[in-house]
């Protein structure tokens, strides 16, 4: 899921495993710092479907995945108009020209809330990895040539969740880390009888697709609460990096080389039957920040190696409605959370949980996408294709609301690379900014 001269809090925590070559790239769905932020200059606050549009490309179908941008190329996944075919694409970041497009999967059957093209591509600039809700994983070089592929279900067991698989892999130091946290939807078991048998974390060699490790990830969750639509992120402290995985009522940290669990935090003491989880965790300094299922509390904790922490061990707990879908953003010493259903923006101090503000965005529709930030601005996309631009500070200000339109719900988060915005609506991919910004 990359470097940036990050903001005060997350920069030190993540700088070790991000390459300087990625300063202008957005190689995964949460950007170079895995927290929704990057470094950019002169990002636009005014544009339309034509104004300040460097180029726009038609999309073959809808997708909830965020574009990945590296080495002058934009990688996307999509289904088609029939919602039965899944493809991966590569566009020239300078002009939007399609460099290659591959149809990978046919005969899919998406759920009503998932388009099967929800896992964002990940790339290191030389290679790109596409994972689809069908459980098919493809590795290609930047020119679209095959490297390897596999079907996760055939190799590791079922991955399907109640609303379709949508976790994005983490590409880190030549390895792919993939989480599968789920109940047993494909069986005839009632939801009350679901177990953690199919919940696991997998590490693959990114060069060959070989299995480095495959570990069971236990939980005492119940019902739909086994299901996690989150994505793994790296957490680094005292020179050691682990993989943080959230779902099934816990956040756990796993050793990079063995998958062995290093620490655990219990975040959902109510243990509801329907507490599936969507927002991914985010790192702020030494703290891991998470949101409870169904958009209840926000919280942060400091992992303790070899220990299981209770919810009461949290560094802070924010007892207000947060986000049911959108993942939080850490930027310039602040934590930003979008409550997409209520169309509100929350700003907290990530060290203490102190509220700076909780304000209405007056958006035109629900917000499914996660906020991204650079150049002192926050960008988010509504399902009807309205871009909300807000000041990225502890003082609330909406800078602009710009309607791009959308024939179907737009859910992809906005990517920022080369001092440009890459905005994926249901119909188009817009590259927005100064036409000379990428030079």
Map out the domains of the chain with their CATH numbers. Answer: 8-432 (2.130.10.10)
**pLDDT tens per residue, the chain (439 residues)?**
232 333 333 333 333 334 333 448 999 999 999 999 999 999 999 999 999 999 999 999 999 999 999 999 999 999 998 888 999 999 999 999 999 999 999 977 777 778 889 999 999 999 999 999 999 999 999 999 999 999 999 999 999 888 889 999 999 999 999 999 999 888 888 888 899 999 999 999 999 999 999 999 999 999 999 999 999 999 999 999 999 999 999 999 999 999 999 999 999 999 999 999 999 999 999 999 999 999 999 999 999 999 999 999 999 999 999 999 999 999 999 999 999 999 999 999 999 999 999 999 999 999 999 999 999 999 999 999 999 999 999 999 999 999 999 888 999 999 999 999 999 999 999 999 987 766 5
Q: Which residue shows structure tokens 């188009």? A: 428
Each as own residue / partner, the long-range contacts of residues 97-104 (CB below 8 Å, 24 or more positions apart, any chain) are 98/57, 99/73, 99/143, 99/144, 100/143, 100/144, 102/138, 102/140, 102/144, 104/130, 104/132, 104/136, 104/138
What CA–CA distance (Å, rounded) separates 307 from 134? 36
* Coarse DSSP helix, strand, coil percentages of the chain, rounded to the nearest 5 percent: 5, 40, 55
| C-beta neighbour count of 98 within 10 angstroms | 12
What CA–CA distance (Å, rounded) separates 149 from 296? 38
Token pair for 136 = 């098919």
What CA–CA distance (Å, rounded) separates 201 from 232? 9
Give the per-residue pLDDT at 322: 98
What CA–CA distance (Å, rounded) separates 125 from 115? 26
Nearest to 132 by CA among 122, 117, 143: 117
Give the per-residue pLDDT at 189: 85
Give the per-residue pLDDT at 2: 30
Q: Which residue shows structure tokens 């950007």? A: 31
Q: Per DSSP, which regions of 228-376 are E strands?
A: 233-237, 240-247, 250-255, 261-266, 282-284, 287-291, 298-301, 308-309, 316-318, 329-331, 334-339, 344-348, 355-360, 372-374
Residues 318 and 297: beta-carbon distance below 8 Å: yes
What CA–CA distance (Å, rounded) separates 63 from 222? 30
Give the per-residue pLDDT at 438: 62
Token pair for 338 = 């979008």
Residues near 158 by beta carbon (within 8 Å), at least 6 away in sequence: 182, 184, 185, 186, 198
Give the per-residue pLDDT at 439: 54
Residues 398 and 362: beta-carbon distance below 8 Å: yes
Strand ranges of the sheet holding 233-237, from the earlier edge strand across to the other edge:
233-237, 240-247, 250-255, 261-266, 308-309
Give the per-residue pLDDT at 311: 97
């Amino acid at each position: 899921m990359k470097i940036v001269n990050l903001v005060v809090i997350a920069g030190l925590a993540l700088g070790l495993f991000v390459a300087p070559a990625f300063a202008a790239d957005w190689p995964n769905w949460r950007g170079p710092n895995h927290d929704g932020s990057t470094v950019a200059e002169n990002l636009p606050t005014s544009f339309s479907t034509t104004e300040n549009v460097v180029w726009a490309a038609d999309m073959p179908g809808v997708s909830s995945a965020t574009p990945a941008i590296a080495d002058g190329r934009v990688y996307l996944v999509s289904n088609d108009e029939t919602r039965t075919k899944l493809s991966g694409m590569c566009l020239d970041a300078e002009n939007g020209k399609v460099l290659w497009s591959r149809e990978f999967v046919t005969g899919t059957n998406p759920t009503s809330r998932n388009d099967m093209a929800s896992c964002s591509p990940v790339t290191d600039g030389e290679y790109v990895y596409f994972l689809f809700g069908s459980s098919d994983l493809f590795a290609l070089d930047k020119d679209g040539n095959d490297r390897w592929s596999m079907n996760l279900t055939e190799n590791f067991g079922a991955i399907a969740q109640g609303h379709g698989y949508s976790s994005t892999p983490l590409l880190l130091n030549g390895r792919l880390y993939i989480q599968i946290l789920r109940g047993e939807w494909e069986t005839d078991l009632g939801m009350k009888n679901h177990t953690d048998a199919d919940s696991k974390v997998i590490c693959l060699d990114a060069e060959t697709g070989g299995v480095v490790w495959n570990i069971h990830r236990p939980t005492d969750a119940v019902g739909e609460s086994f299901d996690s639509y989150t994505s793994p992120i790296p957490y680094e402290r005292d020179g050691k990096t682990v993989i943080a995985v959230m779902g099934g009522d816990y956040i756990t940290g796993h050793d990079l080389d063995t998958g062995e669990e290093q620490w655990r935090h219990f975040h959902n003491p109510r243990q509801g039957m329907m507490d599936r989880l969507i927002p991914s965790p985010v790192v702020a300094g030494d703290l891991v920040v998470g949101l409870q299922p169904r958009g209840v509390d926000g919280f942060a904790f400091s992992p303790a190696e070899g220990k299981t922490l209770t919810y009461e061990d949290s560094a802070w707990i924010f007892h207000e409605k947060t986000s049911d879908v959108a993942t939080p953003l850490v930027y310039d010493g602040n934590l930003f959370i979008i409550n997409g259903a209520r169309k509100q923006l929350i700003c907290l101090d990530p060290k203490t949980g102190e509220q700076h503000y909780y304000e209405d965005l007056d958006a035109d529709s629900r917000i499914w996408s996660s906020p991204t930030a650079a150049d002192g601005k926050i960008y988010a996309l509504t399902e009807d294709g309205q871009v909300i631009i807000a000041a990225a500070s502890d003082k609330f200000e909406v800078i602009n609301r710009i309607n791009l339109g959308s024939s179907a719900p737009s859910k992809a988060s906005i990517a920022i690379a080369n001092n440009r915005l890459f905005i994926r609506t249901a119909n188009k991919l817009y590259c927005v900014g100064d036409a000379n910004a990428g030079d």
